Structure 1
């Protein structure tokens, strides 16, 4: 098991971990997160979400610190609404190579690119750029439809791949080694969507960078998650906690399994100390 003492840094996934089917954080979890912060312990959101999707979660929780976004590719200063680090951007030539491999492994797949701009003047680059018929389980309201050449024409922090006729698990298995060692494949839902990011860039690397900023060793970190994109983070943290509603691959590597998100599983664990 992980740390028996009070953690010095708390890291949590968002969807399926802090947010349940209602897409809202409960009053119990809000109160708990605020107690953690008031006690001087950083509470970091570690999510596959892009920076622009952080404020609706951080606001109710009262968080103004840091968020690890895009599965470790981006470190966001929430209070300043500023991206302070970007890691592992995928260059256009690599994106084109990946697209060719994906078309062979997943005939009929559709692609999208997640980008991070350099500031307010570049705000459009923060948006999804998707090709026609791309399907996002969370909705495509913020996206801009564009030809594939435009989707692949700029560096991206993630290449997203959708297929309406397959589960995410089936897609990840079909892609296998075809995409090579340049990227890692993961997913945060089973709804026919996988995410490709630079090899070695995970929530764990993003959390490690954040822990270094706070001078907190991994053994003093507790991390919560529910899906395969949380595996490395839970393995890196001194104590990795999976939600009972989590994917079986995550449950297999967790130090502890807490109650499901619908029963405030994160709060139930942290109330031991806060």
Structure 2
């Protein structure tokens, strides 16, 4: 007998300094994802702007501010521009593998280098190996870690794996892929643009799987840290009336 669906209970966090807009406070509403209907609940909440973190779904609920906007790429209509096509060709030698959500020491070392290069003072700067394992392994939904590796060096032997240059913890939802957290070798001058490559790979992967969207989390207009998200067109934003196409033109960075 199937367990009955229970309407979730929502909670609100205490205000904390906003990581994106100086001088403002952030607050989040959240609920637990557990029980036999966790995946269904996560899908439904994802369509109205929630994000998953381990066994919790959350979204901003800031007093007097609605700057954080959920965004998703329409996978089937994405057409890479000239710069994006160049980036795909540049990294076409990478081997991409969807792995079960199991944390490895190699992934953690890459994450630490990424945080040190891109977010040295961020909220994840103090994450240790146990914290990382919790982030990856405590998932009540269908999750994978997608790894991006260079090919093994010649003569490395059977079963050898190449250098890990990128990874992304990804949820498969009913209508798309949700990129929970991606990280990569941000200091590798030979392989620029790995973050953009990982997003494009997810878009192509979603389309090949017959999924409509790739959820990129939140976008803050005017935030330089968030600008990269709107380079992937067409992209939709979630507003009071639902999802709509973001029409503002974005100059090709190339």
The TM-score normalised by the length of structure 2 is 0.31
| Structure with the bigger percentage of strand | 2
